[in-house]
Amino acid sequence: MVLIIDDNKDLAGIIYEYLNMVGYEAIVAFSGEEGIAKAKEQKPEAILCDIGMAGMKGYDVAEYIRRDTELKDVYMVAISGYSSQDDVERSLKAGFNKYLSKPINFDYLKKVLGDVGAN
């Protein structure tokens, strides 16, 4: 199962539809707080999380997940419109395993999730 956390409902919906179309079970949260609650409840194999959300940022979500004893090993992918080397490094330091720049390359996303075995 893949948890998508993004406050952009249109983009979250597109990712959700794509993942379902290619055989993944997916769930969506529209804020960092909602995403953490769903992660605790559903225990996903992977989390796709936007960085620049209103309220709780993606960095904060990643840091929280990494401190949680039940969730700390979840594979996390940062999704962001920011793509400088500093942005990538900050996301990795916060606890993300991979970084995807928007617009999302869905073939690459499928490969990343396939490597994790998240379906």
* Every domain of the chain and the residues it spans: 2-116
Specify the pLDDT at position 110.
Answer: 92
Specify the pLDDT at position 84.
Answer: 84
Q: Please give the mean pLDDT across all residues of the chain.
A: 94
Give residue 97's pLDDT band: very low, low, confident or very high (50, 70, 90): very high
Q: Which residues pair with 71 in a beta bridge?
A: none
Q: Which fold would CATH assign to domain 2-116?
A: Rossmann fold (3.40.50)
Is the pLDDT assigned to residue 119 strictly greater than 70? Answer: no
Residues 54-77, mean pLDDT to the nearest whole number: 96
Residues 33-42, mean pLDDT to the nearest whole number: 98
Is the pLDDT assigned to residue 117 strictly greater than 80? Answer: no
What separation in angstroms does the CA of 68 have from each of 10, 71, 82, 89, 90?
29, 5, 27, 22, 20
